[in-house]
Structure 1
Amino acid sequence: MPRSMSLKLACVVVLWLLVGAPLAQGAISCVQVKYSLLPCVGYVRGNNAGPAPPDCCKGIRSLKSAARRRLDRQAACKCIKSLAADISDINYSVAAGLPGQCKVHIPYKISPSIDCKRFVSNLS
């Protein structure tokens, strides 16, 4: 199956899961995190010096606004770590720069070693 067809199929599955799966008592879900960050995947796979894609920044902003509570932020952090581990050829320097490029402040650096249990700061 060609890569573009696989990506389209994955998008359809994610959309179906997002619409079909209710959020448990307001907690952010990994499906929601995946859907928000899907437009960023291609960008973090390379040595991109250019601006982040607009849809990627839109997803990052929507994820930040959805993760208002401590438990939501911790859940989102765990999902992001899991997603990053599943992306082959991820460039963590590029990934770490995404929030700044999208003008979104997060008080931690995106990395595979972040301790999500300790992440309790308010996102402002």
Structure 2
Amino acid sequence: MEKKVVGLLLSMMILSLLDGTSKASQINDITCAQAGQLVLPCVPFLQGIGSEQPSTSCCSGAKSVVEGASSTQNRRDLCQCLKKVSSLITINPDRAKQLPKLCNVNLPFDLDPKIDCNS
């Protein structure tokens, strides 16, 4: 029960941050806040809480976000958005690197909280 309460509070904090930092820019019709909502189910997996596998809703959201960011600028904007959020929560770097493979999401780079979004 305590983990659910912590997860709910963390989710609310992330969504409020995303809402405040989304600006008016869009990422192929997906705002920063919408992208955050789509990948929110991935937070427990990325933190190393619970299952060794990401949930179906996590993988579905990750695929939707990756498909929505089709241009270089879209990917940079999305990277900055998610990097900002990842700096506020503790993410297991090994789990972040595993996520694309486990969700069958094709990324030309490793997910890493320290990634240079401009490269």
How far apart in 2 are the matches of 1:80 and 1:66? 14
1:29, CA displacement in angstroms? Answer: 2.5
TM-score, normalising length: structure 1: 0.72
- Residue equivalent to 1:6: 9
**Residue identity opposite 1:3 in structure 2:** V
Would the alpha carbon gap of residues 5 and 39 (structure 1) be closer, same or farther in structure 2, given more than 3 Å must change? closer
- Residue equivalent to 1:122: none
How far apart in 1 are the matches of 2:51 and 2:28? 36
Would the alpha carbon gap of residues 60 and 5 (structure 1) be closer, same or farther in structure 2, given more than 3 Å must change? closer
Would the alpha carbon gap of residues 81 and 67 (structure 1) be closer, same or farther in structure 2, given more than 3 Å must change? same
How far apart in 2 are the matches of 1:112 and 1:24? 22
- Residue equivalent to 2:81: 79
On the 8 A contact 1:28/1:72 being kept in 2, the answer is no
1:93 correspondence with 2:91: no
Percent identity between the aligned chains?
28
1:82, CA displacement in angstroms? Answer: 1.1
Instruction: Tell me the secondary structure at the aligned position of residue 116 of structure 1.
Output: coil
- Residue equivalent to 2:35: 33
Task: Let me know the Cα RMSD of the aligned residues.
Answer: 2.7
Any unmatched runs of 5+ in structure 1?
119-124
Number of aligned residue pairs: give it: 109
TM-score, normalising length: structure 2: 0.75
